[in-house]
A = this chain, B = another copy of it.
Amino acid sequence: MGHVEGLRQRKKQRTRRTIASEALRLFAERGYEETTIADIAAAADVSPRTFFSYFPSKEDVVFAEVDDRLAEVADRLTQRPPGEPPMETIRRSIVDIMEALVTEHGAYGAVQVQLILERPGLRACALQRMTDTQQELQQRLHDLCPGISEIDAVAVSGIAIGGMQSVIVHCRRHGYSPEAMRHALDRTFALVEQGVSMAFAASMSSPSGSDPEPQKAAGRGV
Query: How many protomers of this protein does the assembly include?
Result: 2
Partner of A128, one of B124, B152, B161, B188: B124
The minimal Cβ–Cβ distance linking A170 to chain B, given in whole angstroms, is 5
> Do A155 and B167 touch (CB < 8 A)?
yes
Whether a CB of chain B sits under 8 angstroms from the CB of A194 is yes
Whether a CB of chain B sits under 8 angstroms from the CB of A95 is no
The interface-forming segment of A4-12, A41-49, A195-203 is A195-203
> Do A159 and B195 touch (CB < 8 A)?
yes
Whether a CB of chain B sits under 8 angstroms from the CB of A25 is no
> Do B187 and A191 touch (CB < 8 A)?
no
> Do A158 and B165 touch (CB < 8 A)?
yes
> Do B194 and A197 touch (CB < 8 A)?
yes
Per the 8 Å Cβ criterion, residues 165-181 of A in contact with B are: 165-167, 169-170
* Chain B residues whose C-beta falls within 8 Å of the C-beta of A131 in the assembled complex: 123, 127, 166, 169
The minimal Cβ–Cβ distance linking A124 to chain B, given in whole angstroms, is 4
* Chain B residues whose C-beta falls within 8 Å of the C-beta of A195 in the assembled complex: 159, 163, 191-192, 194-195
Question: How distant is the Cα of A170 from the Cα of B187 in the complex, in angstroms?
Answer: 27
User: Who on chain B is nearest to A155 by CB?
Assistant: B188
Question: How distant is the Cα of A78 from the Cα of B155 in the complex, in angstroms?
Answer: 28
* Chain B residues whose C-beta falls within 8 Å of the C-beta of A107 in the assembled complex: none
Against B, the Cβ 8 Å flags (1 = close, 0 = not) of A178-222 are 000000100110111011011100000000000000000000000
Whether a CB of chain B sits under 8 angstroms from the CB of A20 is no
Question: How distant is the Cα of A198 from the Cα of B155 in the complex, in angstroms?
Answer: 18
Partner of A162, one of B125, B166, B194: B166
Question: How distant is the Cα of A192 from the Cα of B158 in the complex, in angstroms?
Answer: 10
Question: How distant is the Cα of A206 from the Cα of B165 in the complex, in angstroms?
Answer: 30
> Do B198 and A190 touch (CB < 8 A)?
yes
Task: Give 6 closest A-B pairs by Cβ, nearest first.
Answer: A162-B162, A158-B166, A124-B124, A194-B194, A191-B195, A159-B163
